Amino acid sequence: MTSNRVKERIGVNAVSRMVETSWESGWQEYSASNDDAIDGVILMRRGTTNPIDTGGVVFVQVKCGGNGYRQDQRQYPEHIGITLGAQYVEVHRPRWMRVPGPAVLVFVDDTVDRTNPPAWWVDLKDESSYSPTNRGMLLIPKAQRFAHHTKGDFHRLCGSGTQDRTLNVIELSRTETLIPRLGRTESLRNDAWEFYKAWRFDKAARINPTLGEVLVNRVGWKHITRRDRLPERIMQSWMLLGAAKQIIAQESRVLNFGRATVRDLEDGSKLVQDYLGLRSTITFPYRHHAVVQVVLKRSRILHPSPSWRGSDRQKVWFYSVYELRRGGLGI
């Protein structure tokens, strides 16, 4: 039977390996003598080549042992039940609540695989994480795996402020901004379309430092003006076209959105389509600054032969633009 000390080491090693290797973030373990319901902290970072500290810190309690802590309940089939004991929760919960940042518990199940055990996480500051029928039990959604994709969830736990501090700041002048003309015969739609057409034919302004040429054509215009989109969203995108133009020209950090779609072609190559993001803090000449996100659509052809030299192997289109803190619905 595995000792508690060995189990603790398996759990902490699983967490640190994920954080430091897959997430490329920092892990600071607390010594046992300083353990105050927290086993360590995650220092959140963004980027891969040169990761940047966001200032976000997540406090972590690690529990390992599928045959000791895990007791799934029939009344909660979509959750993993972690039994800590009513007294343990009563003593430790106030400590979790007062740490200056998110506090999570990561449960590592070593009964499945001791070398690479699966793990799940739960927000210790969320009331729904505690069983309403058992004061000593935590309920972890089975879908809430502690894995590579969890990094985005932890960024969100830290809040937008820590992320925003790492963004590039772009200052727009009046000449770089779409400012509508006023008058009975004037139309914001017409002004936006004229700005869009001028941008479309300005190739130098459509070269991104990382992705190269970005196409500005009817793909993006149709998307931001589609009929099922709210009118206020359309107007917001029009007013942000100047910001989108500068972000594409200046922002080198590229975000990946969602999962790519892959289609096999007759010549053995694959057509890969996905969506990318560029994000910057924009200071406007006429209003308060804002975090603005540009969405790009990308299409690539990948061939199994390294010597293959097909034409137009990658195309990237401007797809949408919106203020991030106003929400991304209807982008």
For 85: left if phi > 0, alpha if psi spans -120 to 50, otherwise beta; the answer is left
The mean pLDDT of 252-269, rounded to a whole number, is 77
How confident is the model at residue 212, as a pLDDT? 92
Model confidence band, residue 21 (pLDDT cutoffs 50, 70, 90)? very high
The mean pLDDT of 204-208, rounded to a whole number, is 94
How confident is the model at residue 226, as a pLDDT? 92
Percent of the chain with pLDDT over 90: 47
Alpha carbons 110 and 114: distance in angstroms, whole number: 5
pLDDT at 244 over 60: yes
pLDDT at 199 over 90: yes
pLDDT at 309 over 50: yes
How confident is the model at residue 328, as a pLDDT? 47
Model confidence band, residue 273 (pLDDT cutoffs 50, 70, 90)? confident
The mean pLDDT of 248-267, rounded to a whole number, is 81
Model confidence band, residue 331 (pLDDT cutoffs 50, 70, 90)? low
| Listed range (143-147, 192-196, 307-311) with the worst mean pLDDT | 307-311
In this predicted model, which residue has the larger pLDDT, 262 or 3? Answer: 262
Highest mean pLDDT among 52-66, 145-159, 193-207: 193-207
First and final C-alpha spacing in the chain:
54
How confident is the model at residue 30, as a pLDDT? 82
Do residues 43 and 25 lie in contact, with contact meaning Cβ atoms separated by under 8 Å? yes
Tell me the pLDDT tens digit for each residue of 101-131: 889 999 999 887 888 899 999 999 999 999 9
Tell me the pLDDT tens digit for each residue of 150-195: 998 898 888 655 556 667 899 988 888 887 777 666 788 899 999 9
How confident is the model at residue 161, as a pLDDT? 57
pLDDT at 33 over 50: no
Alpha carbons 77 and 119: distance in angstroms, whole number: 17
How confident is the model at residue 325, as a pLDDT? 61
